[in-house]
Amino acid sequence: MGGVSMQRTVEVKSDGVYLSGEKFFLISGDFHYFRTLPGGWKRRLELMHDFGLTAVTTYVAWNLHEPKRGEFCFEGALDLPRFLQTAAETGLKVLLRCSPYMCAEWEMGGLPSWLLKDRQMCLRSCDPSFLEPLTEYTRILAEKIKPYLYTNGGPIILVAVENEYGSFGNDRRYLQLLSQLYRDCGLDVPFITANGPDPFQYHNGALPECWNGVNGSANPGFLKEMDLLKEYQPDKPLLVGEAWDGSIMSWGKQFTLNKGIEENEEYLRQALQMGAAVNFYMFCGGTNFGFMNGALAVDQKENYVPLTTSYDYDSPISEEGTPREKYFRLRDVLDSYRDLPKRAHIAPEYQAQNIGPVRITEYASFLDHAAILAERRVRRGRTVCMEDLDQDYGFIRYTTHIDYTDSRIRHLKIEEPADRACVYLNGKYAGCLMRDCPAPDIAFTVPPEGLELSILVENLGRINYGYRIYDRKGILGAVHVAIEAGKDRYVYNFANNTGFTIETLPLKSLDGLVYGLQKPENGLPVFCRARFRAQPGIDTFLDMKGWNKGIVFFNGFHLGRYWSVGPQRTLYVPGELVQEENIVEILELHYEARENEIRFLDHSILTEMPTNDYAFLKGKSGQDFII
């Protein structure tokens, strides 16, 4: 006699979450699949399961899955179905934060940069010009994730509608339309939201039909906000959308590991006693590979703050996927709450390798190869931004010729560089301007034959949070000069330079580079290449001590940025990238001849602040160009 299969359901009742009628103990943590290569997913998910978590939370990065309008990618490192299946096999349910926007200290908060080409578009709103591409993407995404819904036999039990929307806008109709779009696409599990606890944030970002949570620091002081949450939704259990157990990393600012453990412990102890469903953010650190780090613009004092390549976050599980003291201490709290025997603080075996020193043997000038590496090369009367030329990330170069008129001293002015502009006069380094920082004085005279002015601008990461998310890159204003007319006097001059050759340099590939053995001139941007042997499949960490600023490719994979301002000194190299024979290519923006070797370590260095004054953070002047 055949049995009748039970319908799989997910319900959020006043006392908790129920799966197919059985109460489910929900405690989860954020681990973003796109911040770790697929070979490292299982090891990290197993650590989360062993900790006692019952679910993993992940965002879905729209800008990775649709890098160009209508071109979708769910393969390789972006194989979301594979990640969902791996989570299920590990014994974890999934909270899927598939919002079009995710913040996450990620480039533009996960929104594709190509949205910025439409200057009239209102992001994250009912604007039809935003809803149209959003709907197209959501339908594609839904087809990928529907088989993994709990109702279809998969691990996804909850789906997020937007993220911290109450801190961005007040278009509640947009939230309703997004919610309905998810339903129309077949996402039939309960929806959740996450917002700050303030009434303004909560009411603008939450929907009555959703299970609405609040975000805040994982310390006991935040728990008083839970009483406010109970007033908002008395018919549902308490939900902590994000319990911040660490902190983000910014270039040029101190970062500390294993911070606030005692506060985290007491927070978890009290939150469990309150019956709250806690989601740790982050539970597992990761890496902003390539150009995917975001930036903040918090207030008038700190304006633009670019974030690091590492997204270790001081989370219980490190960037390289190893448990740290915070992991074991919080696990003790959870075990005690669940009346489980105390476990020894023993980490699974982890292997990493030291390599080197490795000598740099080959060089290629970036400026000389710009025409080869450029995705587009156009002529424009004025400077235009990356987005207007369909460029997403990387660098953009503006070149023009300044004719001789007289021998007076000129001072270069670049209005609104976004984000870091290196200036070259007749091929020599003249200085660097950094967004929202005092500009160095770049003074020069024009020789009788004229002068080539070249400006290389780096996109350091789009702002990922708040109303300044409309963060276009390149030179957004005019390029002009102030001409001396005597002591403390200047020519009355509002003329701007015109006639630019513009090259977009996203550096998606380094094909076409021709390396040589001759060392280049100091101060110029140079590709440096080295070849070396290593133990394949084993993690390592590239030590960038002694280098100034740039990016690194390892066997063709873009590891991310380095910068001597700290605190991050090493770049994580996942073992699945390491072969027996390897090639590393470094784009050093401020080459110095003494840099002729690199080393790989068996551990990370993420907390080192330089003791000397690295002027490259705010912009460093080169030699005088008064001829």
286, 36 contact by CB (below 8 A): yes
Rounded mean pLDDT of the chain? 94
pLDDT for position 615? 44
Backbone angles phi, psi at 38, to 5 degrees: -55, -35
**Which is nearest to 229 in space by CA: 203, 204, 255, 251?**
203
In the DSSP assignment, the letter for residue 462 is -
Element (H, E) at 173: helix 172-184
Residue with tokens 């109702």: 151
Q: What is the DSSP string of 76-106?
A: GGG-HHHHHHHHHHHT-EEEEE--S---TTB
- Band of pLDDT at residue 346, cut at 50, 70 and 90: very high
313, 248 contact by CB (below 8 A): yes
**pLDDT at position 569 over 50:** yes
- Band of pLDDT at residue 616, cut at 50, 70 and 90: very low
**pLDDT at position 40 over 50:** yes
- Band of pLDDT at residue 193, cut at 50, 70 and 90: very high
123, 463 contact by CB (below 8 A): no
**pLDDT at position 171 over 70:** yes
Give me the helices (H) in 218-362, please: 224-232, 261-273, 325-337
| The token pair that represents 127 in the structure block | 């604007």
What's the average model confidence in pLDDT over 372-388?
Answer: 97
| The token pair that represents 599 in the structure block | 């080393």
- Band of pLDDT at residue 559, cut at 50, 70 and 90: very high
Residue with tokens 């990016």: 551
pLDDT for position 486? 86
pLDDT for position 303? 86
- Cα separation, 43 vs 87, whole angstroms: 11
- Band of pLDDT at residue 623, cut at 50, 70 and 90: very low
Q: What is the DSSP string of 532-552?
A: EE--TT-BEEEE-TT--EEEE
- Cα separation, 66 vs 74, whole angstroms: 9
Report if pTM > 0.85.
yes
pLDDT for position 565? 95
pLDDT for position 423? 97
Phi-psi region of 178 (alpha: psi -120 to 50; beta: other; left: phi over 0): alpha
In the DSSP assignment, the letter for residue 189 is S
Tell me which of 283-287, 466-470, 531-535, 594-598 is least confident: 594-598
What's the average model confidence in pLDDT over 86-110?
Answer: 97
**pLDDT at position 627 over 70:** no
- Band of pLDDT at residue 564, cut at 50, 70 and 90: very high
| The token pair that represents 419 in the structure block | 């984000």
What's the average model confidence in pLDDT over 509-533?
Answer: 93
Residue with tokens 């075996």: 349
Backbone angles phi, psi at 608, to 5 degrees: -100, 120
Amino acid letter for position 509? S
Q: What is the DSSP string of 566-600?
A: SS--EEEE-GGG--SEEEEEEEESS--TT--EEEE
Backbone angles phi, psi at 568, to 5 degrees: -85, 120
| The token pair that represents 220 in the structure block | 């006991």
pLDDT for position 231? 86
Backbone angles phi, psi at 131, to 5 degrees: -65, -30
**pLDDT at position 339 over 50:** yes
- Cα separation, 116 vs 68, whole angstroms: 12
How big is the chain by its Cα radius of gyration, in Å? 26
pLDDT for position 596? 81
C-alpha distances in Å from residue 428, one per residue of 520, 525, 620: 11, 10, 14
Handedness of CA 147, 151, 153, 157 (dihedral sign): positive
Tell me which of 124-133, 200-209, 236-245, 380-389 is least confident: 200-209
Mapping DSSP onto H, E and C, the string for 388-430 reads: HHCCCCCEEEEEEEECCCCCCCEEEEECCEECEEEEEECCEEE
What's the average model confidence in pLDDT over 464-493?
Answer: 92
pLDDT for position 456? 98
Backbone angles phi, psi at 508, to 5 degrees: -70, -20
In the DSSP assignment, the letter for residue 483 is E
Indicate which residues carry an active-site annotation: 164, 242
pLDDT for position 228? 80
Percent of the chain scoring above 90 in pLDDT = 87
Residue with tokens 């059985």: 22
pLDDT for position 263? 97
- Band of pLDDT at residue 245, cut at 50, 70 and 90: very high
**Which is nearest to 299 in space by CA: 125, 463, 147, 156?**
463
What's the average model confidence in pLDDT over 564-581?
Answer: 98
In the DSSP assignment, the letter for residue 38 is G
Which residues partner with 263 through β-bridges? Answer: none
Residue 15, preceding bond cis, omega within 30 degrees?
A: no
- Cα 120 from chain centroid? 26
Percent of the chain scoring above 70 in pLDDT = 96
Which residues partner with 304 through β-bridges? Answer: 297
pLDDT for position 5? 58
**pLDDT at position 2 over 90:** no
Tell me which of 2-6, 223-227, 273-277, 495-499 is least confident: 2-6
Tell me which of 252-266, 303-317, 600-614 is least confident: 600-614
- Band of pLDDT at residue 611, cut at 50, 70 and 90: low
180, 215 contact by CB (below 8 A): no
- Band of pLDDT at residue 470, cut at 50, 70 and 90: very high
Q: What domains, with CATH codes, occur in the chain? A: 10-337 (3.20.20.80), 355-361+513-617 (2.60.120.260), 376-505 (2.60.120.260)
Neighbours of 301 (CB within 10 A): 5
